[in-house]
Amino acid sequence: MTLKDQVTEDMKNAMRAKDSERLGTIRLLLAACKQKEVDERVVLDDAMVVAIVDKLIKQRKDSIEAFTKADRKDMADKEASEIVVLQAYLPARLSADEVLAEVKAIVASLGASGPGDMGKVMGAAKAKLAGKAEMGQVSAAVKAALAP
């Protein structure tokens, strides 16, 4: 069963359970998936669905920050609950040490040295670690690995 099929099944289960908050979040995810399929005329695989989930979680985190600054705790709590639902569709994440080890291996394999090679290393790291780690964390690890 693909990840998209699992999301569809979860939507049906949420409808049966009359869990409106979970249902709304899952429908939002399915709508984003459908939009991507229509825009790019592709059938989504699991990696693409994980990328969409990552994007939606990042949007929610940004919204939480904005709502907190605006003193809208109710809206921030709603966004946080959506993050919890969305995180169920992400694969297990690598720890900070594991990310650093992977980045060091990539730097060694590319023979990169110095901040000038950051783009080359980030390209390889993004391809290898997509869905396994947050790209902000990967970027920080790359900067640390390339620091003189």
**Domain spans in the chain, listed from the N-terminal domain onward:** 3-87, 96-146
pLDDT digits (tens, 9 = 90+) for 85-100: 999 998 888 888 888 8
Here the tokens at position 67 are: 């709502």
Residue 117 has pLDDT above 80, yes or no: yes
Residue 118 has pLDDT above 90, yes or no: no
Map residue 132 onto helix, strand or coil. coil
CATH numeric code, 96-146: 1.10.10
Residue 114 has pLDDT above 80, yes or no: no
Read off the pLDDT band of 10 (50, 70, 90).
very high
pLDDT digits (tens, 9 = 90+) for 14-59: 999 999 999 999 999 999 999 999 999 999 998 899 889 989 999 9
What pLDDT score does 125 carry? 87
Same fold, 3-87 and 96-146: no
Instruction: Name the fold adopted by 3-87.
Output: Hypothetical Protein Yqey; Chain: A; domain1 (1.10.1510)
Nearest to 105 by CA among 129, 81, 132, 140: 129
Q: Whole-angstrom Cα distance, residue 108 to residue 131?
A: 22
Q: Whole-angstrom Cα distance, residue 16 to residue 33?
A: 22
34 in Cβ contact with 52 (< 8 Å): no
Mean pLDDT value across residues 125-144: 85
Q: Please give the residue that has the higher pLDDT: either 114 or 19.
A: 19
Read off the pLDDT band of 126 (50, 70, 90).
confident
Here the tokens at position 112 are: 């990169």
Q: Please give the residue that has the higher pLDDT: either 128 or 62.
A: 62
